Amino acid sequence: MPLLTHHPLKALYTTLILLTTLLSLPFYTLYFLFRRPHPTWSLRQSLTTHTARSFLSLLATIQPKPSPPPLPPSSSSSSSKASASTSTTTTIPIAHKIHYQPPLLSSPTIHPAPITGTWYPHPPPPEYTGEIILHFHGGGYTIGTGSPADAGYAAKTLLNIAEHVFMPAYRLASSARGRGAFPAALLDAVSAYVFLLEMWRPERVVLSGDSAGGHLVLGLLKYISSQKSALGVPRAVLVWSGAVDYLALSDEGVVDGSARFGSDYIPGKFAAWGARRLVEGVDLGDESVVGYLRLLGSPFETKVPLWICVGEVEVLAEGALEFGWQMRGVEGNVVGVKVLKDTPHDVMLMGNMLGFEREAEEGARAAKAFVENVKETKLLD
């Protein structure tokens, strides 16, 4: 409803939904005592997933503009060493034009642009020789900045795998006037990767993404693996509850009609909001572009080991697992899969709020083992 995306109706509707959700909690508490979305879930898990779905449905209705990205530190503070308990934000410049090849040049109006990124817990010192995770946050291409306010728990999860994590605030599809439609986020992903390669060798970088960020990191992997890309090969790619078909998600019924809808918290209207904005103004007759929006059914050869993690009862599980099997079917590809039992969507980002911390930690341990195994294998080679 377009009227609800503008004030004053936007504010009135938001207040009404928040009050209704609050007042309905006693009813749902009683209801979930007898019948839960999944039989193994606790009462807390049942209530939080229900509340998360209501909140995302609200966002999809009022369609707020993206939050401003975190600001980089001032020149007076950027030279000081950050403490281990804080994050540091920096500017990611536009890379050399050689790194932006088709389909990144498919839009006449969307071009490379400077963005920011947040380090966790702080930038690596010059002598650091371990892995760095370049992670793209989730949020349906409509919300999130990769800052501690919305991705702090994801960063904490990833810090169990590597000592340093970098999260870019890529352009969102919900940006005004179509400025965040494809290929804006993929352009920013390339810029962020090149930014790290100017300081560290590619085999020390692990690419990662959750939910929409999982879709983005798979697009980056496809681009790196293409003949047109001169980018170095990263250590591995980690995909957490990744979406693999953003053309299908533009139909709300794909999510709402899923057999797993009741055991997940993503409403169809939220997924469709980002999907429709992502393809706004995009030439869907261009197969080279469609192959990045719909990865499912378009497996590709890659030298980069790929690891895919899904929640067993999440809506996106079936597509992500099918894509994993398709990638395994390409000769030479190395693909690992982890299924978190009785778990909904993207607990590496939302586990602390939903009550699935144990499952998020389980996923992190599996991801770390995969990266370590890849590292040992390459050392043997």
* Per-residue pLDDT at 3 exceeds 90: no
Quote the pLDDT of residue 109: 93
For residues 353-370, average pLDDT: 98
Quote the pLDDT of residue 52: 97
Quote the pLDDT of residue 178: 77
Quote the pLDDT of residue 260: 97
Quote the pLDDT of residue 74: 57
Is the model's pTM score more than 0.85? yes
Phi-psi region of 350 (alpha: psi -120 to 50; beta: other; left: phi over 0): alpha
Quote the pLDDT of residue 381: 41
Tens-digit pLDDT profile for residues 111-145: 999 999 999 999 999 889 999 999 999 999 999 99
Tens-digit pLDDT profile for residues 151-183: 999 999 999 999 999 999 999 999 987 789 999
Tens-digit pLDDT profile for residues 18-54: 899 999 999 999 999 999 999 999 999 999 999 999 9
